Amino acid sequence: MALTSSRGLAGGSVDRAEFAAIVQPRAHDFVVEQIRRQIALGIIRPGAALPPERELMKLFGVGRATIQSAIGKLETEHVVETRRGRAGGSFVKAPTSDAPSLDFRVVELRRQAGSILDAVEFREVLEPLAAAVATTKAKRTQLRTLEELCEKTSQASDDAEFMRWDTAFHLAVGEATSNRFLCNSLEAIRLELNPALQLLPDTRVWHDLSNDEHRQIVDAIKSKDAEKARHAMAAHISHANQSIRSLIKSLSKLPAYPFVKATE
């Protein structure tokens, strides 16, 4: 419900200011949103187990009832399933036959083409900047994390695993800036782009090229060479961005998908 006032700041007047009542999110909704984001980013993969209840309580700083409510809501949404027994726990559900088809995902990309292209453009500005900032801010532990993620992407056994560690690498560069605005912006960009990145035709050659570029970025950050880091990241993301733009362009030329047959 909107609240209105004709009184302005410092006693001045305005035609009609509108305010919205603040809605405080419940703690379990916050937990649900955080888990959803990790799944959407590919950090937690289908079939993977969520941390144990006690660990989730510690990570989120909430009680058992809050975690149980969050898991219950995710179960209701068919995002996770809980298994009993010694090997039990809460697991991210794998896609089923009810999951969106490739055709549906293509239609969604076409619908969101403008937002995706905006994210591509924003990425070209932000990610090279983040790499440059990381050269002066990265801690030893963060550098080790970047090196470990380089290893994990190089050892990925399939496209899904590669995407998981590639996403983690780019977010880790953001973490190495110690700037929460950069971190949040990089995560928002990745959430927007991941559906398009998942439709790009990945090959071993592409993976190898990407892995080499990751190492160049890390080497530049470790050597505290801001310009080298900036250029290495710019070169790296230009390849993916070019592919995304080509994908969006090709999708725009396809006929509409007639999911619902017209009735006479």
pLDDT tens digit string along 103-113? 556 666 777 78
Taking phi first (over 0 means left), then psi (-120 to 50 degrees means alpha), and beta for anything else, what does residue 62 get? beta
Which has more pLDDT, 135 or 76?
A: 135
pLDDT tens digit string along 182-240? 999 999 999 888 878 877 766 777 888 899 999 999 999 999 999 999 999 999 999 88
The type of residue at 7 is: R
Q: Phi and psi at residue 135, in whole multiples of 5°?
A: -65, -25
Which helix H or strand E contains 91, and what residues bound it? Answer: strand 89-92
Angle value at C-alpha 167, between 93 and 242, nearest 5 degrees? 120
Q: Is 163 helix (H, G, I), strand (E, B) or coil?
A: helix
Q: What percent of the chain has pLDDT over 90?
A: 37
Q: How confident is the model at residue 34 (pLDDT cuts 50, 70, 90)?
A: confident
pLDDT at 19 over 60: yes
| pLDDT at residue 195, as a whole number | 78
| pLDDT at residue 199, as a whole number | 72
Taking phi first (over 0 means left), then psi (-120 to 50 degrees means alpha), and beta for anything else, what does residue 42 get? left
| pLDDT at residue 264, as a whole number | 35
Q: Provide CATH code, domain 102-252.
A: 1.20.120.530
Architecture of domain 27-92: Orthogonal Bundle (1.10)
Q: Do domains 27-92 and 102-252 have the same CATH topology?
A: no
Rounded mean pLDDT, 85-112: 68
Domain boundaries, the chain: 27-92, 102-252
Angle value at C-alpha 157, between 102 and 187, nearest 5 degrees? 65
pLDDT at 15 over 60: no
